[in-house]
Chains A and B, each alone.
Chain A
Amino acid sequence: MTVDPAQAGDLLHLGFWMLTSGGHVGSWRHPATRPERLVSMDHYIETTRLAARGKFDMVFFEDTLAARERNGGVFGEVSFNSLDPLVQIAALAGATSDIGLAASFSTTYHSPRVLADKFATIDRLSGGRAGWNMVTSGAAAGRNFGSGSHPEHEVRYSKAHETVEEVRALWASAPPSPQGQPVLIQAGMSQWGLDFASAYGEAIFAAFRDIEGGRAFRTNLRTMAMAKGRSPDAVKILPGFMPLIGSTSAEIADKKAFYRELVHPAMVRGMLGERFNFDFTDYDLNRPFPLDDIMDGLEDRPMIGGDRARFVKEVQPGDTVAAYAERMASKLSGHLTCEGSPEDIADFMQAWLQGGACDGFIMQALQIPVELELFVDQVVPVLQRRGLHRTDYAGLTLRGHLGLEARR
């Protein structure tokens, strides 16, 4: 039987991307957020149970190995970035019974033995619900792990290859969980990322501008997986996604304005400082954007991530700092967004799935729990009525939820 790499899937796979108070930078200031609860496991347990009520395939925790900073100190105007995600999903294994539990952990700063051990343990504790998002970590981590120099791209990535091979060999020696081995997840769209994803990735987090981009990526990756002897269906593509749900256009406009207001001016200045490593604290925001001053300083700062180059490109000719900042603050997220009624959101998700542009989504909520609750109570039933989303879990493992074979 020939397999068509462009063949669309028939059921959505949904991951919920757990950020402390939500995917919107101002969400910790939302009236419904109780920030003191963000340091309590109860908050993450309740949110995970809410995602399980919506029959999500999994919750996912990201990982950062350095405090979020601006201008030489902690970026105190925003929520902290992440506690140890494996402590969190291990605790969730004891607090939930069906939803998948996935987390990022670094191939650069943990040994294969540590990685194998921790994920195998959590996979056993959860009855086969663990997933590992293999990351090589951002440059800021370097200062906490040695000489302060983060290894170059190629070094990190060749180490990642070796690490995942060693981890799988160690897993093969461990007592298997009901799903055999944890699910391997990967994000990143570089050529290296594609090679790695097509060789090992079982769920792929991605970012696309439009449905055509998604379709081209998915078809390409499935073709690459087949060339490596894998079934194209063994790779699920999940773009990042954050919906804005409102029943009327007036309600949507109000909600956007409301979230824009949550981005405090001090937060805006901090985000500018974080992005450009330039102190905007007392800068007159009505002056032209100081791109030359920023560029002059860049050479002295060796750790320039790809992001900063992108941020520089976003500066438009004639921009004042305020104009740039307004665009930045109005943006809901760096991922796909869709605004509309629950039916509109479901239409959008359906079009992407049936257009062969994805196998589901890794979804953020603007605020936790308010916007996740809206999605679970209003969008999920629409998806279920259309036969696009499960009404209950068919199995008890993450591989089962994702439609992946058990791996022995």
Chain B
Amino acid sequence: MESVSGRKSVLEVRGLMRRFGGLTAVDRFDVDVNEGEIVSLVGPNGAGKTTVFNLISGVLRPTAGSVRLLGRELVGLPAHRITHQGVARTFQNIRVFPQLTVRENILLGTHHWTRSGMLGSVTFWPSTLRAERAAQAEVHTAIDLFRERLEARLDDPAFSLSYANRRRTEMARALAARPKLLLLDEPAAGMNPYERIEVAGLIRSMRDRGLTIFLIEHHMPLVMEISDRVIVMDHGVKIAEGLPKEVHSNPRVVEAYLGRRAASA
């Protein structure tokens, strides 16, 4: 397993395991993600990738194992506290809040780091006003990456958006949470080639801004292009890890995707 010396470890997962009755969805999974890295998690459908994300972000409780963010143990914390520790994510099937506007969706991202309560809202309390202003400013920072795409739609309800715009909104929302670790679950799903190029650019820009990114993706060319490292899972187990090129030609990986005959071909 590679590690770049001198770089701080952002995510450290050891022995992560999750069982559902008789099925072991994730079996002793380890991963290290260092600051500023883009690490991709790939594997056939049903491999357990999204489950790993759910375990890290606190949506599911692990049967065993440990997840450390910047040294701080996350296992056992409720999901909303894990977000507060610095983990933000997007979902495979885009979960924006349909009845909230784009702006409000992104503002939701700022929820965990702004302080403004009910009493403050009705009394125009100064600290509340300041917090609201800071949050509104963050919205503009967050949509900056998307150039003008979302600007015109800021006050439209999210259910009226196109698929691509919904994905952008979800990403902007995750960015607005000012995370230390960003989990992207299939960011390029359902996109045409032009949009995929945009997504690749976005991910790189986010990394350039200092984010550490752990992503799940099916589109292999995209993975090859932007990843520093690739991890391959199958049936809940990590079967390969390394530089994109190494992993690509690994016979175990080919077998996992295409079957034994293809691997020996």
A and B are interacting partners: no
Residues of chain B touching chain A, judged by Cβ–Cβ distance below 8 Å, are none
